[in-house]
């Protein structure tokens, strides 16, 4: 049930109304204990829905140094030596307990996401349930991780393969999905018997710490799950990537940071899973159901105010239906979206995360308009609502020379491009260096397979703007990274295959 608060209620006042106040943790969680940082260093967490320069402080959390991460890594290694020997059924039971606890406290967890991230309550609640689903999915997979017997060319030998957990995993997560980006990685790691050290984004550490609390309540052995907030993001990232006891790093974030972390990981040749930047094309072919395409575009572009890795960043519409699509798109966004504080009733879209994000949104809009784009809707920041709010914006007649055509906006701006032919739009869609997600609408089944095979992305939505779920192999190609998370493929990056040849 949505809790509705007045705009005058501070974030700290909202926290007092939690059903389970034990979810609110401000210390690090290491080896089953809640710890302060050695030097008592802290940093503050703010609600991005602030207004008039008046920072709305949520909490002050302890900030942990690279050396303190070292202690957590050593604890995780000690725990791994025993946790790797547990049964898949035992680990499955732990994950199911986590799943049940997340659903039990979903209201509090969702409210916490709204406060840290700014997304509306309905979106935050959806994230909590999505996040929990990874624990359920991997709980079901954990007892079924098995090796194989391979027929040898030698009649007097047998080849056996064993799938074993890789070791201690470093998990580095972003702020845009502060719960789901952890569970998607952690669920797989736990399912196969790995332990983990988690570095949450400095903007959203509270959601991560609440998951640590739930892991503790679920009965996880000390050292299996460790969560340490830090304001020393780059130094800690480097430390994790270079530490010899960390055998695998999973990172979600920008392509530039991913390249840096990959270089830092090279000294120990770690196994890596990187989900990096995107610039998703959204194509509407001639003959498509325009109303359904409009609905899909709104979901794919404006979810979380455009701050998701799989957001549609370039909307290509066939010239024969462009005007009809643009008119309906503008009308529906006007009618069905409300900008405001995520805990206010009926609000559908919140702020961007901080001033740097707002500046990028404004730059993309200004650059496009200066180069001839048409403003179809929005276009302005909304300081009357809050410091980091920007109107949901639709730009028409966008061209390839505009910054928004080649740069990921990560904000609430939808650029519309016209195209004439399938070959042309595929060339334009594939021109990006990245390839995380893509979408297209078409009534032609032959075209569906042609385009799906030709689009250079890791995930495609066909006649839908929603693709994410636990069963989906999540990941990209090109400079959007490598490896897959979620699904039956999500376990492999946390496993090593050992071969045993037996003479008979």
Residues tagged active-site: 275
Q: Please report which residue ranges of 348-495 form alpha helices under DSSP H.
A: 355-370, 403-406, 422-429, 445-454
The alpha carbon dihedral of 275, 279, 282, 283 has a sign of negative
Place of tokens 């695998």: 248
Burial 149-177 (b: 16+ CB within 10 A, else e): eeeeeeeeeeeeeebebbbbbbbbbbbbb
- Which one-letter DSSP state was computed for residue 101? H
Query: Of all residues in the chain, what percent are helix, strand and coil, respectively (each to 5)?
Result: 40, 25, 35
Question: Taking a C-beta distance cutoff of 8 angstroms, is the pair 249, 261 a contact?
Answer: yes
410: phi then psi, degrees, rounded to nearest 5: 55, 50
What spatial distance separates the first Cα and last Cα of the chain, rounded to whole Å? 64
The conformation of residue 196, written as its DSSP 8-state character, comes to E
From CA 61, how far away is CA 43, in angstroms rounded?
6
| Packed helices 445-454 and 422-429: angle between N→C axes, nearest 10 degrees | 30
Whether 316 and 428 have beta carbons less than 8 Å apart is answered as yes
């Amino acid at each position: 049930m949505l809790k509705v608060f007045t705009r005058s209620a501070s974030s700290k006042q909202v926290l007092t109304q939690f059903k389970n106040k034990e979810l609110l943790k401000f210390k690090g969680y290491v080896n089953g204990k809640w710890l302060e940082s050695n030097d008592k260093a802290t940093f503050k967490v703010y609600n991005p829905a602030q207004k008039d320069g008046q920072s709305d402080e949520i909490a002050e959390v302890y900030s942990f140094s690279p050396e303190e991460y070292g202690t957590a890594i050593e604890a995780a290694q000690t725990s791994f030596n025993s946790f790797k020997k547990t049964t898949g059924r035992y680990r499955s039971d732990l994950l199911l307990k986590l799943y049940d606890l997340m659903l039990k406290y979903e209201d509090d967890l969702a409210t916490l996401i709204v406060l840290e991230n700014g997304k509306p309550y309905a979106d935050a609640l959806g994230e909590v349930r999505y996040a929990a689903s990874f624990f359920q999915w991997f709980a079901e997979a954990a007892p079924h991780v098995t090796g194989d017997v391979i027929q040898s060319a030698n009649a007097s030998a047998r080849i056996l393969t064993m799938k074993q957990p890789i070791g201690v995993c470093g998990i580095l997560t972003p702020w845009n999905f502060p719960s789901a980006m952890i569970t998607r990685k952690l669920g797989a790691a736990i399912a196969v018997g790995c332990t983990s050290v988690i570095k949450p984004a400095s903007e959203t550490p509270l959601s991560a710490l609440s998951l640590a609390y739930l892991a503790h309540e679920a009965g996880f052995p000390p050292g299996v799950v460790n969560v340490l907030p830090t304001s020393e993001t780059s130094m800690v990232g480097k430390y994790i990537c270079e530490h010899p006891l960390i055998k695998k790093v999973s990172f979600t974030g920008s392509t530039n940071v991913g390249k840096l972390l990959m270089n830092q990981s090279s000294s120990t040749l770690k196994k890596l899973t990187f989900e990096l930047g995107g610039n998703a094309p959204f194509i509407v072919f001639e003959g498509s159901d325009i109303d359904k395409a409009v609905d899909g575009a709104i979901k794919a572009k404006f979810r979380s105010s455009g701050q998701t890795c799989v957001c549609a960043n370039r909307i290509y519409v066939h010239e024969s239906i462009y005007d009809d699509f643009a008119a309906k798109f503008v009308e529906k966004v006007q009618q069905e979206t409300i900008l405001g504080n995520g805990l206010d009733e009926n609000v559908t879209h919140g702020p961007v995360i901080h001033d740097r994000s707002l500046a990028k949104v404004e730059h993309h809009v200004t650059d496009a308009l200066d180069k001839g784009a048409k403003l179809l809707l929005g276009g302005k920041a909304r300081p009357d609502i809050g410091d980091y709010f920007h109107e949901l914006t639709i730009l028409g007649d966008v061209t390839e020379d505009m910054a928004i055509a080649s740069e990921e906006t990560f904000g609430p701006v939808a650029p519309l491009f016209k195209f004439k032919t399938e070959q042309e739009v595929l060339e334009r869609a594939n021109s990006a260096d990245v390839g995380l997600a893509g979408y297209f609408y078409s009534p032609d089944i032959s075209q569906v397979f042609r385009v799906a095979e030709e689009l250079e992305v890791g995930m495609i939505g066909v006649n839908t703007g929603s693709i994410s779920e636990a069963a989906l192999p999540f990941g990209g190609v090109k400079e959007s990274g490598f490896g897959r998370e979620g699904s039956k493929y999500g376990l492999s990056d946390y496993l090593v295959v050992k071969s045993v040849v037996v003479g008979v």
